[in-house]
Amino acid sequence: MSSPQDTLQTIFGYPSFRPPQDEIIQTVMDGGDALVLMPTGGGKSLCYQIPALLRSGCGIVISPLIALMKDQVDALRQLGVRASYLNSTLDAVTARQVEEALLAGELDLLYIAPERLKLDRTLSLLQQAPISLFAIDEAHCVSQWGHDFRADYLKLSVLHEYFPNVPRIALTATADARTRSEIINRLDLAEARQFIAGFDRPNIRYRIALKHNAKQQLLRFLKDEHATDAGIIYCLSRKKTEEIAHWLQEQGFNALPYHAGLDAGTRADNQSRFLREDSVIVVATIAFGMGIDKPDVRFVAHLDLPKTVESYYQETGRAGRDGEQANAWMVYGLQDVIKLRQMMGNSEGSEEHKRAEQHRLNAMLGLCEITSCRRQVLLNYFDDVLPEPCGNCDNCLEPVDTWDGTEAARMALSAVYRTGQRFGVKHVVDVLLGAETDKITQYGHDQLPTYGIGKTLDDNQWSSVFRQLVARGYLCVDVERFGALRLEEKCRPLLRGEESIELRRDIKKKEAKRLTKKFLPEDMDAALWEVLRECRRGLADEQGIPPYIIFHDRTLQEMCVTVPKNMEQFSQLGGVGERKLEKYGPNFLQAINNHLADR
């Protein structure tokens, strides 16, 4: 019998395990139960796929995401693994064939939707078949916060009763302690070894910039860093998703809108193009994302501020599931803060509910305004600790300047107070700058002691001060009064001179440095990259599967850097096992050869 290490190399084409994959695999190989908590892209699948291949019998994988099963099974078959699935999309004849293959011992892995498992028919089928293990994917679904599939997942406790000797491995990317203990209770996993790998997504680069001209900023970002990549752009309104998608099309991008107001056919088409084609950008409301498991999403961009850190983390988490470098990019400004604060003020619900919402929005704003490592703050929010700054967020890469904003803040607050807490930012800034507008004359604000006291700062700088004061809860925005600013209790010590305040120095448009010019490694032949993608696309189309099932981006990148000349060199690439070497090596070698000859 071959070892896990051999299987990793020959079947999957990877040189080494990412700890603690090896330990997890050993635990299950030895017949023990395991609870695996690993971030998305961490490599959970191998933890059950390899033991399923090596232990006798078929590994049963319970997964709620029916839409993804076919892709997962296709990907395994590409590697020469005997995999199948059973779910409601199969017709009766096909389902029967799969069941027969299982009984005949012709399957290594079988994916099953959880609702099937409560059927007596399925349980008795499994009792007649040789089973090597049960893998319970997305195990957080048992938790009361796991909503959708909960009822079916709770039934999975029968597995232990019916199959006391078959090892079970439960996997999730949801890290909080509450969910973890619920998984253990509900699935009867008290004896299971726990492998907790934290929550961090180190390959995602978090960047939050000040919004000055969102469309142009987005365009620069896309052109400089993601000219031909797949990505998701989130906007708050349906109308805006269509507008941005349309505009990006005019700029030559393959952009498609997605929101709940589109008819089902269009939505399905756009989603499937996103999954199947190489460089589609989806411009979406939050309606897009659930159950999307495209591994090579290279960026997630936010043109509007998410309401909570949870949503931000979940939405940005759709980038870089293959573990490769990806960008989470956002622009935000004062108007976003005001708009969200207003939306919350207007929302239905009890005072308590509104307070909770405000509280969560404040955490999101805190993340935007923070001048230290963003990842530390993010992880901290989820009770995870990152001891050192990450080195892969904008604040780490380009430390932010701060300035003593105490004087400016006092001026701003007293201008709000003197104008009667009845006006929005624009007017108050006009007062501070001593502008001569009709409104100022009308209300006699040129007679105020604060009139014209703020000329040392310009318009933009004042709006930065106000944004930070609102974001940090010194000022609030009065919903009933069209965005009028009001002082909060928190102002008192600052106004009394008992407290000082450090503000973020926003980088002006011209100075704003770009973090990375290109996503691809410097020494890479960009033309070859396109040639290889074309080759991959052709092979994928022939078989009607998404390109990443042929090879992940990483493998193509390695090809660009190492430029293999023969099968031996090709076999050294990560992600190239025996089957794929034989099946695709010649095509790619040919493409590389042609490219070199053309140069």
Residues in contact with ligand ADP by CB under 6 A are 14, 17-18, 21, 38, 40-46, 295, 321-323, 552, 574
Distance CA 143, CA 260 (A): 27
- Contact partner at residue 241 from ligand ADP, Zn ion, none, CB < 5 to 8 Å by partner kind: none
Is the N-terminal amide bond of 20 cis, ω within 30° of 0? yes
Q: Which is nearer to ligand ADP, 137 or 394 (CB)?
A: 137
* Tally of CB atoms within 10 A around 410: 17
Q: Which stretch binds Zn ion (CB under 5 A): 249-257, 303-311, 394-402, 472-480?
A: 394-402
Q: Check residue 390 for interaction with Zn ion (CB under 5 A).
A: yes
Spatial contact of 440 and 408, defined as CB atoms under 8 Å apart: no
For ligand ADP, the closer CB: 182 or 553: 553
Q: Which entry of ligand ADP, Zn ion, none binds 316, CB below 5 to 8 A by partner kind?
A: none
* Residue with the CB atom nearest ligand ADP in the bound state: 43
- With respect to Zn ion, which residue has the nearer C-beta, 391 or 586? 391
| Shortest distance in whole angstroms from residue 171 CB to ligand ADP | 7
Q: How far is the CB of 328 from ligand ADP (least distance, A)?
A: 16
Nearer to Zn ion, 127 or 380 (CB): 380
For tokens 């974001």, the residue is: 471
Q: Which residues pair with 84 in a beta bridge?
A: 110
- The distance of closest approach from Cβ of residue 552 to ligand ADP in the complex, given in angstroms and rounded to an integer, is 5
Residues 6+ apart with CB under 8 A from 388: none
Tell me which of 334, 373, 487, 576 binds Zn ion, using CB under 5 A. Answer: 373
**Closer Cβ to ligand ADP, 46 or 331, answer by number:** 46
Asked whether position 375 contacts Zn ion by CB under 5 A, the answer is: yes
Question: Helix crossing, 406-418 with 459-471: angle to 10°?
Answer: 80
- Position among 52, 102, 396, 471 found at the interface with Zn ion (CB under 5 A): 396
Closest to 337 (Cα-Cα) out of 317, 298, 364: 364
Biggest alpha carbon–alpha carbon distance for the chain: 92
Among the candidate windows 98-106, 148-156, 385-393, 484-492, which touches Zn ion by CB under 5 A? 385-393
229 binds, among ligand ADP, Zn ion, none (CB under 5 to 8 A by kind): none
The span from the CA of 72 to the CA of 29, in Å, is: 22
The entry of Zn ion, ligand ADP, none near residue 45 (CB within 5 to 8 angstroms by kind) is: ligand ADP
For residue 384, the minimal CB distance to Zn ion (Å) is 14
Residue 14 site contact among Zn ion, ligand ADP, none (CB < 5 to 8 Å, cut-off depends on kind): ligand ADP
Q: Considering beta carbons, is residue 44 or 341 the nearer one to ligand ADP?
A: 44
Shorter beta-carbon distance to Zn ion: residue 133 or 208: 208
b/e sequence 182-201, b meaning 16+ C-beta within 10 Å: bbbebbbbeebbebebbbbb
| Interface with Zn ion, residue 38, by CB under 5 A | no
User: How many whole angstroms separate alpha carbon 137 and alpha carbon 65?
Assistant: 9
Residue-by-residue DSSP string for 406-429: HHHHHHHHHHHHHTTS---HHHHH
C-alpha–C-alpha distance, residues 112 and 132, integer Å = 15
Contacts of 211 (CB under 8 A, 6+ apart): 217, 331, 332, 333, 335, 336
204 is a site residue for Zn ion (CB under 5 A): no
Using an 8 Å Cβ cutoff, are 359 and 379 in contact? no
* Shorter beta-carbon distance to ligand ADP: residue 11 or 470: 11
552 binds Zn ion (CB under 5 A): no
Contacts of 314 (CB under 8 A, 6+ apart): 289
How many chain residues touch Zn ion (CB under 5 A)?
A: 6
CA distances for 11 relative to 2, 75, 184, angstroms: 11, 12, 32
Nearest to ligand ADP of 14, 417 (CB atom):
14
Q: For residue 381, give the nearest of 476, 314, 298 by alpha carbon.
A: 314
- Contact partner, 396, from ligand ADP, Zn ion, none, Cβ < 5-8 Å per class: Zn ion
- Cα torsion for 141, 151, 178, 139, to the nearest 10°? -30
Nearer to ligand ADP, 424 or 574 (CB): 574
Q: Which does 483 bind (CB under 5 to 8 A by kind): Zn ion, ligand ADP, none?
A: none
Q: Is residue 211 helix, strand or coil?
A: coil
In angstroms, what is the minimal distance from the CB of 293 to ligand ADP? 8
Residue 207 sits in the site that holds Zn ion (CB under 5 A)? no
What is the closest distance, in whole angstroms, from the C-beta atom of residue 507 to ligand ADP in the complex?
Answer: 35
Residue 393: contacted member of ligand ADP, Zn ion, none (CB under 5 to 8 Å, by partner type): Zn ion
Name the binder of 284 from Zn ion, ligand ADP, none, CB < 5-8 A by kind.
none
Q: In 466-475, which positions are buried (b, 16+ CB within 10 angstroms) versus exposed (e)?
A: bbbbbbbebb
